[in-house]
């Protein structure tokens, strides 16, 4: 790996540390804990299990007292009288080492060992940043197998700083998106290598990654289409894929074994909480499949993907312009985008609550990156490259400016209008 490419992820880690410090000074609500909103739901398994020793979550709910908020994701099951957590336990599992380090350090610094004091808040922040760094390191390997280092560096820079990815690896690192981004990047890196040499170890690793993708965020299971469809683009490659799978049934069984072992964690929690192995945990929330808001999800000022991250328009062009090189990726990534966009736009609250940009697409940054790299790689004329570089710099600066305004509370987390957006660029009187 080229030295500059190899150093990119560690440099982002350092910038992320600085970003967390800046966020702590710039944030609008300094009393709001870092572990909050959906991040609380993903994390609360750990204090409930290892501090309160109560997987029913009754002690956790009681600790809220009169401040109890039923929207945090815990709902009481009438049959078992235990609380079902709306959010799956995958992120908590990946946060476990950081949690134990925080638990040990809390006693050393005299902080409450309650799972939510400052050491735990810091640990969750740093663990989310680490997920971002690991994801970028893996994505760099994926891109470097396709393109020269200058294209890889430009792509990584745009993916990190011209989208909301850096925000969800720092200020909102308690959410699941940095973890899912790292797992998506791991899938992109691992699947081609599995088809080259589907040994037992690599098969178990693939099943582990696939299982964690679902265990961190259930709807992300759609991305697992990448496993059977990578490299499939016509009838001949489809037949070859089926023949490959028949010839490597042992390896496929290892993938499914590891996948099932990881998912058993989720099924076990569901069964413990409700008495049922399969559960729809988002009780009271659902999809409006007959009324998807596709145009709003993709283009609206409120949360439109391409409005808040216009760099992905270049990625869409890149998948077309560089389609020969990216042919193995086209079918699975196109199906993922179509199905994912339909699910997001059919969700009862398509903006996905308070967020910077549309956070439902943050982890998909790993999947869009090959298209962006393909766009940059197909620019042959020096003038075109200079123009593209200038546009990317402007998009990075714009995203940084908007992110800072969001941290300061001047950019709302939802229902942004044109008047509000223009006011961000207007100096106060």
Contact between residue 136 and residue 177 where contact means Cβ atoms under 8 Å apart: no
Contact between residue 77 and residue 84 where contact means Cβ atoms under 8 Å apart: yes
- Taking only the tens place, the pLDDT of each residue in 16-70 is 999 999 999 988 888 889 999 999 999 999 999 999 999 999 999 999 987 778 7
Alpha-carbon gap, residue 223 to 364, rounded angstroms: 9
Contact between residue 54 and residue 60 where contact means Cβ atoms under 8 Å apart: yes
Alpha-carbon gap, residue 270 to 428, rounded angstroms: 52
Contact between residue 335 and residue 229 where contact means Cβ atoms under 8 Å apart: yes
> For the chain, how far is it from start to end, CA to CA, in angstroms?
51
For the chain, the C-alpha Rg in angstroms (whole number) is 22
Alpha-carbon gap, residue 333 to 300, rounded angstroms: 23
Other C-beta atoms closer than 10 Å to the C-beta of 200 total 11
Residue bearing tokens 């400016």: 401
Alpha-carbon gap, residue 99 to 95, rounded angstroms: 6
Using CA atoms of 237, 238, 239, 241 in order, give the dihedral in degrees to the nearest 10.
80
Alpha-carbon gap, residue 53 to 60, rounded angstroms: 10
pLDDT at 264: 98
Q: What are phi and psi of 74, to 5 degrees?
A: -100, 120
Alpha-carbon gap, residue 407 to 164, rounded angstroms: 12
Name the residue among 134, 184, 142 with its Cα closest to residue 365: 184
Name the residue among 337, 331, 371, 141 with its Cα closest to residue 228: 331
Name the residue among 371, 351, 348, 372 with its Cα closest to residue 361: 351
pLDDT at 429: 67
CA 294, chain centre distance (Å)? 20
Contact between residue 173 and residue 127 where contact means Cβ atoms under 8 Å apart: yes
Question: Distance of CA 63 to CAs 42, 67, 78, Å?
Answer: 18, 9, 21
Contact between residue 106 and residue 135 where contact means Cβ atoms under 8 Å apart: no
pLDDT at 271: 98
Alpha-carbon gap, residue 161 to 398, rounded angstroms: 9
Alpha helix (H) residue ranges in 292-417: 294-299, 305-308, 311-321, 327-346, 365-377, 382-407
pTM for this structure? Answer: 0.97
Q: Estimate the crossing angle of helix 3-26 against helix 149-161, to 10 degrees.
A: 10
Joined tokens for residue 112: 């409450």
Average confidence (pLDDT) per 10 residues, the chain, 429 residues: 90 98 90 93 98 97 85 91 97 98 95 97 98 98 96 98 98 98 98 97 98 97 98 97 97 98 98 97 92 98 98 98 97 98 97 96 98 97 96 98 96 96 86
């Amino acid at each position: 790996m080229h030295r500059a490419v190899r150093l990119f992820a560690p440099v982002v880690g350092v910038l992320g540390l600085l970003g967390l410090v800046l966020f702590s000074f710039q944030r609008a609500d300094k009393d709001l804990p870092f572990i909050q909103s959906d991040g609380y739901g993903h994390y609360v398994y750990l204090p409930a299990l290892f501090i309160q020793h109560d997987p029913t979550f009754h002690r956790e709910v009681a600790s809220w007292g009169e401040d109890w908020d039923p929207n945090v994701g815990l709902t009481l099951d009438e049959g078992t009288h235990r609380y079902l957590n709306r959010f799956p336990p995958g992120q908590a599992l990946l946060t476990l080492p950081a949690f134990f380090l925080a638990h040990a350090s809390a006693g050393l610094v005299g902080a409450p060992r309650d799972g939510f004091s400052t050491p735990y808040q810091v640990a969750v922040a740093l663990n989310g940043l680490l997920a971002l760094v690991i994801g970028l390191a893996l994505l760099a390997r994926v891109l470097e197998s396709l393109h020269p280092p200058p294209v890889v560096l430009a792509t990584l820079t745009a993916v990190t700083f011209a989208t909301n990815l850096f925000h969800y690896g720092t200020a909102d690192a308690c959410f699941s998106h940095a973890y899912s981004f790292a797992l998506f990047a791991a899938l992109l890196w691992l699947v081609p290598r599995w088809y080259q040499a589907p040994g037992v170890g690599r098969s178990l690793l693939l099943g582990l990654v696939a299982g964690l993708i679902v265990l961190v965020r259930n709807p992300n299971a759609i991305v697992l289409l990448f496993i059977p469809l990578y490299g499939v683009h016509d009838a001949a490659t489809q037949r070859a894929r089926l023949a490959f799978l028949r010839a490597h049934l042992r390896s496929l069984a290892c993938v499914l074994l590891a996948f099932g072992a990881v998912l058993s964690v989720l099924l076990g929690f569901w069964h413990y909480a409700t008495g049922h192995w399969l559960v729809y945990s988002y009780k009271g929330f659902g999809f409006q499949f007959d009324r998807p808001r596709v145009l709003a999800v993709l283009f609206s000022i409120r949360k439109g993907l391409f409005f808040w991250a216009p760099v992905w328009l270049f990625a869409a062009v890149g998948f077309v312009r560089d389609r020969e090189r990216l042919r193995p990726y086209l079918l699975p990534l196109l199906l993922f985008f179509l199905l994912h966009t339909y699910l997001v736009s059919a969700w009862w609250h398509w903006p996905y609550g308070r967020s910077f940009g549309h956070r439902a697409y943050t982890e998909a940054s790993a999947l869009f990156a090959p298209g962006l790299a393909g766009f940059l790689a197909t620019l042959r004329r020096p003038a075109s490259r200079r123009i593209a570089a200038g546009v990317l710099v402007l998009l990075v600066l714009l995203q940084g400016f908007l992110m800072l305004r969001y941290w300061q509370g001047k950019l709302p987390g939802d229902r942004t209008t044109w008047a509000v957006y223009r006011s961000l660029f207007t100096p106060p009187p």
